[in-house]
A = this chain, B = another copy of it.
Amino acid sequence: MADQLSRAFQALADPTRRDLVARLAADGDASVGQLAAPYDVSVQAVSKHLKVLEEAGLVSRSRDAQRRPVHLEAEVFDLMTAWIERYRRRAEERYTRLDGVLAELAADDEEEGAAS
């Protein structure tokens, strides 16, 4: 799990972390304490979740006295969308348009040719 895309998908695979992102998008920057309040886990656990989001580049943190305000970063979201869209579109083309069917027929011919 080295690359950025893997870290980003991994980060959003957790419902709590997705909820943190949702609330940051809705309410803007927030401190760790504010973010942890609605959950019934320790503040340390939320701090860990935020670290995962930060290492994935989905979030950044600045400093404001004792606070460490958490800030949503849009860039890596773009990367993820780009990756998904690329293959979703190809999948749709392949299986809903005519040349998808033609490609399948060609594959069948190839198999039968190899078998005989």
Contacts and interface: CB of A to CB of B under 8 A. Distances in A.
Interface residues of A, number: 42
A107 to B, nearest CB: 7
Nearest to A85: B81
Nearest to A15: B6
Q: How many chain copies? A: 2
A26 interface: yes
Interface in A36-53: none
Contact of A3 (B7, B15, B25, B71): B15
A104 B13 CA distance: 29
Given A10-B10, A14-B6, A73 B87 contact: no
Interface of A: 1, 3, 5-7, 9-10, 12-15, 18, 21-22, 24-26, 28-29, 71-74, 77-78, 80-81, 83-88, 90-92, 94-95, 100, 103-104, 107
